[in-house]
Amino acid sequence: MDAIQGGQSFTVTRDGHPIGQLVPLRRRRRFVSRQEFAAMSRTAPGIDLDRFRADQDATADTYPDDPYDR
């Protein structure tokens, strides 16, 4: 378990045949450096703001009242 916690993975076998894997859980990164964010942003696709807004309007609930009153 210490090796798995340290990042190692293992194949579990039965009679010499692989039947499973023990792998470390992926840890979520909570912080992205400014440089990494800038690098990712340079390759991100462009966004058409008018189309984005139209998509939001088409899917958003336009009735702010109680839906059970309709």
For 6-21, the pLDDT digits (tens) are 889 999 999 999 999 9
Give 70's pLDDT tier (boundaries 50, 70, 90).
low
Q: How far apart are CA 22 and CA 6, in angstroms?
A: 12
pLDDT at 62: 67
Instruction: Give me 45's structure tokens.
Output: 């696709």
Between vectors from CA 61 to CA 58 and to CA 65, what angle results, nearest 5°? 155
Q: Could you give the C-alpha distances from 21 to 5, 26, 28, 54, in angstroms and in order? A: 14, 14, 21, 46
pLDDT at 35: 93
Assess whether pLDDT exceeds 90 at residue 49: yes
Q: 13: how many CB neighbours lie within 10 A of its CB?
A: 10
